[in-house]
Amino acid sequence: MKKIYQLKSLLDLVIVFSMIIIGFTLIGLLYGLLTGNLSKWDFSIQGQKIHTVDAALGILIILIAIGYGFFMYSIFQLKKLVTLFIKKEFFTDLSVKTLKAIGVTMLGSSLLIAIPNYLYGIFGNADFKITIASLSPASMIFTFIMALFFIILSSIFKEAKIIKDENELTI
């Protein structure tokens, strides 16, 4: 059971440091967008350096920020799930809902980050290139797979809860 406490501590650290980094990044991006001066930033999307700020870039940044917000919410939900597991609340309605929330927000995160990013790369530049990369934790496919895993795990926990409730009724 010691490992679950270590996981909770690690998730706490990730949440705190991520919020600090997100805060500074958002302040910098808002300043850059409002002043129209992103030239001091080494800012690139899909390999193309961004020199000017336009409406498409603004929309892209907003969608990506929402996607990262979803990802942070999924990390927060994971911390909540670990806390439930520490309390030995495995097959409850709350744990099922939390697992599903992790999966859905992670799925939304991967879509909100990757799709607008790729579309901006395609439409913002005349060059079109396809790259084949391996499956890595940073890839959209990996995040998509993890999201589906949490959604399926939610269904499994829901079935386990039903079986647990039926077993408690039969004595």
Which letter does DSSP use for residue 139 in this model?
S
Return all residues near 83 (Cβ < 8 A) that are at least 6 apart: 8
Kindly report, residue by residue over 115-170, the tens digit of the pLDDT.
887 777 676 654 545 555 555 556 777 888 888 999 999 999 999 999 988 888 87
Kindly report, residue by residue over 18-74, the tens digit of the pLDDT.
989 988 887 887 787 777 666 666 666 656 666 666 777 778 878 888 988 899 999
Q: Nearest to residue 157, comparing CAs of 81, 78, 96, 100? A: 96
User: How many independent structural domains does the chain possess?
Assistant: 1
Kindly report, residue by residue over 72-98, the tens digit of the pLDDT.
999 999 999 999 999 999 999 999 999
Give the per-residue pLDDT at 16. Answer: 93
Tokens of 67: 């996607």
Instruction: Report the alpha-carbon distance of residue 168 to residue 171 in Å, rounded.
Output: 7
Instruction: Report the alpha-carbon distance of residue 88 to residue 5 in Å, rounded.
Output: 13
